């Protein structure tokens, strides 16, 4: 069982997946910091000094100066400002992944052409297998050059 586990872990795709998850987690932290620390403050300033992290709705009907105050008081809140930040995080990460996959697809080049397995019948233009000697649609005998 230990040998089987070792063989499973040492397969290339498992190691590649582990590396991808670790790099993805680090990339997610960078994007979250970019959104929270660099992108949202200027957007909030343009919208009249709004701090998106402090946008919330108190469900108990009381007013609080900030989300931290509401959480300290134990009030139930809908934190839609944090939700907006997370949506922007997701869109940036999804766009970055799109660019990486697009670049990888361009490096890969066009897919190889599928092998030709049929030919047209010269009489009725029905697709006929390459090895056929008669057309199944019109029953014409296929010429030797078309075989």
pTM of the entire predicted model: 0.57
30-64 pLDDT tens trace: 888 888 888 888 888 888 877 788 889 999 989 99
CATH superfamily entry for domain 2-112: Large-conductance mechanosensitive channel, MscL; domain 1 (1.10.1200.120)
- Mean pLDDT, the chain, rounded, equals 86
- Per-residue confidence at 66, pLDDT binned at 50, 70, 90? confident
- Per-residue confidence at 128, pLDDT binned at 50, 70, 90? very high
Residues in the chain: 147
79-100 pLDDT tens trace: 998 898 889 888 888 888 888 8
Confidence at residue 143, expressed as pLDDT on a 0 to 100 scale: 82
Domain boundaries, the chain: 2-112, 115-147
The DSSP line for 46-81 is HTTS--GGG--EETTS---SSHHHHHHTT--EE-HH
Q: How many Cβ atoms sit within 10 Å of the Cβ of residue 36?
A: 16
> Would you say 51 and 75 are in contact if contact means Cβ atoms under 8 Å apart?
no
């Amino acid at each position: 069982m230990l040998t089987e586990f070792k063989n499973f872990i040492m397969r290339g795709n498992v190691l590649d997946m582990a590396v991808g998850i670790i790099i993805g987690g680090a990339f997610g932290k960078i994007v979250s910091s970019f959104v929270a620390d660099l992108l949202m403050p200027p957007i909030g300033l343009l919208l009249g000094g709004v701090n998106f992290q402090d946008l919330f709705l108190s469900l108990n009907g009381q007013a609080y100066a900030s989300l931290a105050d509401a959480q300290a008081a134990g009030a139930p809140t809908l934190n839609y400002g944090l939700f907006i930040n997370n949506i922007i995080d997701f869109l940036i990460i999804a766009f970055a992944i799109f660019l990486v996959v697009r670049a990888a697809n361009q490096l890969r080049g066009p897919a190889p052409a599928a092998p030709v397995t049929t030919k047209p019948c010269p009489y009725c233009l029905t697709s006929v297998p390459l090895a056929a000697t008669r057309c199944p649609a019109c029953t014409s005998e296929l010429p030797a050059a078309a075989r």
